[in-house]
Structure 1
Amino acid sequence: MNLGIPSEREQQQRRKLRDEPLEKDDNSRINMTSKQRLIQLTYLITVVEVACMFMQFGIVPYLATSLGMDAVEFGYLQTVFGVLQLLGGPIFGRFADQFGAKTALAISYVAGSLFFLLLSVSTSVPLLFLSRVPSVFMHGLPGAQMVITDLTTADERVDALGKLGLCFGVGMIVGASLGGTLTSKFGVYFPCYVALTGCLACALTVLVFFPAQTKPQLKGDAAHQSVSQSTSVFSLKETVRLMKLPGVMDVFLIKVLSGFPSGVFLIMFSIVSIDFFGLEAAASGYVMAYCGILQMVVQGLVIGRLTSRYSEWTLLMLCVLVFCGVGVGMALMTNIFHYCLIVPPMIFSFGTIAVISDIILTKSVPASDTGAMLGISSSVQPLTRTIGPTIGGFLYRRFGVSSFGYLQLLVNIPLFFYILRKRIPHNEGKVQ
């Protein structure tokens, strides 16, 4: 297998494979009539799944506190969650490519159900750590991205993935608000039962309504096999091959590094909201709902318009600069009002980089490998959750909240000049 830069012939094969339309095979593949209905159904289950996840984001810190865990131990809990997701992301993507998004999504939602079941009986610290184990298979949002990518052309993908981000915002609002309200009225474990029911409903929906395969029926399967030869879900060589495609590593590094400082702060926000801002469970949920509204606006209304006017490269550069401004704001903030002023530009940069980078990366590979690439891309957040809690806990206890702002500047200012020196082509939105 050639792990170096692909030849011109291989690049032509990839371009041909990416541009092939869906065939109207009513027996084994999705026809054009049902495509939009399936996309809408994907949006619906994404809202439900994200709402379930944000319910647990809101209750776990209070559950951990009630069990006697301090900020460092809570950081370890978050690290375990991040490691499991980091390991599972690339495998999930390869699995979806080979066995279909239906099977992969069903496994993800079943794992989510087990996750919330274990969380609902976590009456001790060991049980709370045990509840993290099923998260290795929980990749509902990347799975939804795979379905959307399979069902859309390159030109449709920006709008479709932006709407998926809108669904994420809706789920974030519903989950954060509902989680805080249910916790206040019925106790810390009740939201777990609600989330368990939601995940089971998502799994049932996928099993009943989704086709076995969502990828387009491509012409020239022999050519396709010459591009990707490994059939192993655990193939490290295939991952390396994808990362070595032109421009992929640069975009991946931008995605990882630019949002890492803010990601570290968001990981620690549940603790910061209690210790520094003095928020209760319901108030913390309202802040998350506020972030969800901004997420909806950015990904549902803003990104599509920006991509129609500006190149993807220009938008990536803009986001890095905005992150620098966010760093200044985080270094100076002293209360929750200041944080609410900082959130809009932070959400803008997060959302824009997430969508733009995924679009560039999926355009860089054949249709047969989009799942694997999205699986690799989805490992960015787990990577942050893996090393972020340790870094965040240390910074917060040693230097205070302002240290997160200085970290933001320390990372994004050099990254800006790195991007300028690399001189990534301005037509990266049309990576071939």
Structure 2
Amino acid sequence: MFGRFADLFGARTALSLACASTVVFFLLLATADTPAMLFIHKIPTVFMHVLPASQMVVTDLTKPEKRADALSKLGLCFGIGMIVGSTLGGQLSKLYGEKFTACFGTAGSAFSLLLVLKFIPKNTKAETTRGNTTDDNRRKSVFNLSEITRLMKFPTVMQTLIIKIVAGLPSGIFQVMFSIIALEFFKLQPEQNGYLMAYFGIVQMVIQGGVIGRLTARYSDNSLLLLSIGVSSFVGLAQAYIQNVWQFCFNILPMMFSLSVFNAITDSMLTKSVPSSDTGTMLGLCASVQSLLRTVGPTIGGFLYVNYGISSIGLIQFFVNIAVFVYLLQRRLNKTAEQRK
């Protein structure tokens, strides 16, 4: 629904709503003095979709051929923010307490809202002509599910979404299970786990900021999608035989490469497959896929880890991704043969 809201009222309005909700979130947290208030302060999270809203702005303001690079660099910015924010938040909580930290978050979120209102254009989408008044009235409803589901009828949208879910599920399972794996399998202390997460973030930022842009300038989206899925399959195979944390640190490099390229390319491909007037809704559906993976991931991952060990997660990732890779490769070869004929 949030992506649909952005298409109807503008990406800047959606991002402003997300930032304003973050202000209310931290303000309620700062004033919370009972367990009930801790639950109430979570209500604004219904509208706290800052990353998808930022992706909607970037998608509207970039050319299709530059979109994957722009989305990856946006991920770089959010990665820097998460590392700096987590470190600063921990220090502020240690020195001044949780309430001061929440107030600081309120001020920071309010400053972000001012930046959005100051620097982002009111209209980010190109002007489009509407068909007729009846069609306009039908389109104006945020809760019009038919307007959302009709995007599935565009060429390659349904296929790309299915690939995004199927190929992304095994790696999503590993991500949601990582904290347990780090503590139980690698026997890491919380402090060491924090260092490993920082290493994750640094590798991802380097790839998103300096690698993806160069790749998208030289290779097609379909080629990069094949590459990311192929690399992900061998990452899963390596995970199945990892014995210590040093081997895992080495495997993080191709893992973050495949994840970063896969997410940027699939989001870019999906927004290119629909009209510019519907890119917000499409990005909302992409964000829903990530939420779906985080919802089913813990249940599937917990069952596999308890009954079959960490190697089962890696082997499933290998077999699922190699199957998707073979399917896409065969489809591409058939298409090339048809074009030659």
The TM-score, its normalising length taken from structure 2, stands at 0.85
**Secondary structure of the corresponding residue to residue 240 of structure 2:** helix
Matches within 5 A, 1:155-234: 155-179=65-89, 192=102, 194-218=104-128, 220-222=129-131, 230-234=139-143
The separation in 2 between residues aligned to 1:339 and 1:123, in whole angstroms, is: 42
Q: Match of 1:38?
A: none
CA contact (8 A) 1:168 1:296 kept: no
* Residue of structure 1 equivalent to 2:192: 283
Aligned residue for 2:239, secondary structure, equals: helix
Query: Residues 273 and 363 of structure 1: is their aligned pair in 2 closer, same or farther, counting only changes over 3 Å?
Result: same
Cα deviation 1:143-197 (Å, max 9, x = unaligned): 1111111112223323322321221332233234445555666677875554444
Of 316-325 and 281-290, the range deviating more from structure 2: 281-290
Aligned CA RMSD, in angstroms, stands at 3.2
How far off is 1:231 after superposition? Answer: 1.9
Match of 2:151 among 237, 242, 245: 242
Q: Which residue of 1 aligns with 2:274?
A: 365
Matched, 1:338 2:235: no
2:55 matches 1:140: no
Partner of residue 19, structure 2? 109
1:258-280 per-position Cα deviation (integer Å, ceiling 9, x unaligned): 22212122122233333333334
Work out whether residues 148 and 160 of structure 1, in 8 Å CA contact, stay in contact via their aligned partners in 2.
yes
DSSP 3-state at the match of 2:139:
coil
Question: Is contact 1:118-1:127 (8 Å) kept?
Answer: yes
Q: AA paired with 1:377?
A: C
| Corresponding residue of 1:388 | 297
Partner of 2:64: 154
What amino acid is aligned across from residue 415 of structure 1 in structure 2? V
AA of the residue aligned to 1:153? K
Give the superposition deviation at 1:242.
0.5
User: Could you tell me how far apart the structure 2 residues matched to 1:334 and 1:306 are?
Assistant: 32
Q: Please give the per-residue CA displacement for 1:33-78, whole angstroms capped at 9, x wherever unaligned.
A: xxxxxxxxxxxxxxxxxxxxxxxxxxxxxxxxxxxxxxxxxxxxxx
Q: Is the 8 A contact 1:177 1:289 kept in 2?
A: no
Distance in 2 between residues matched to 1:195 and 1:184, nearest whole Å: 15
Is the Cα–Cα contact under 8 Å of residues 4 and 142 in structure 2 kept in the other structure? yes
Which ranges in structure 2 are unaligned for 5 or more consecutive residues?
A: 337-341
Q: What is the number of residues matched between the two proteins? A: 336
Structure 1 residue runs of 5 or longer lacking an equivalent are 1-90, 428-432
Residue number in structure 1 paired with 2:2: 92
1:253 paired residue among 151, 162, 183: 162
Partner residue in 1 for 2:339: none
Higher helix residue share = 2
Greater shift after overlay, 331-340 or 277-286? Answer: 277-286
| CA displacement at 1:370 relative to structure 2 | 0.9
Kept in 1: contact 2:18–2:47 (CA 8 A) = yes
Q: What CA distance in whole angstroms lies between the structure 2 residues aligned with 1:175 and 1:407?
A: 35
Aligned residue in 2 for 1:401: 310
CA distance in structure 2 between the partners assigned to 1:323 and 1:408 by the alignment: 8
Deviation for aligned residue 1:372: 0.8
CA contact (8 A) 2:75 2:205 kept: yes
DSSP 3-state at the match of 1:259: helix
Deviation per CA, 1:197-251: give whole Å up to 9, x if none. Answer: 4333222332444343222234x44489969952211121112211110011111
Do the aligned residues in 1 keep the contact of 2:10 with 2:123 (CA within 8 Å)? Answer: yes
Q: Which of 324, 333, 336 is equivalent to 1:415?
A: 324
Q: How many Å separate the matches in 1 of 2:193 and 2:32?
A: 22
1:310 alignment partner, one of 215, 219, 222:
219
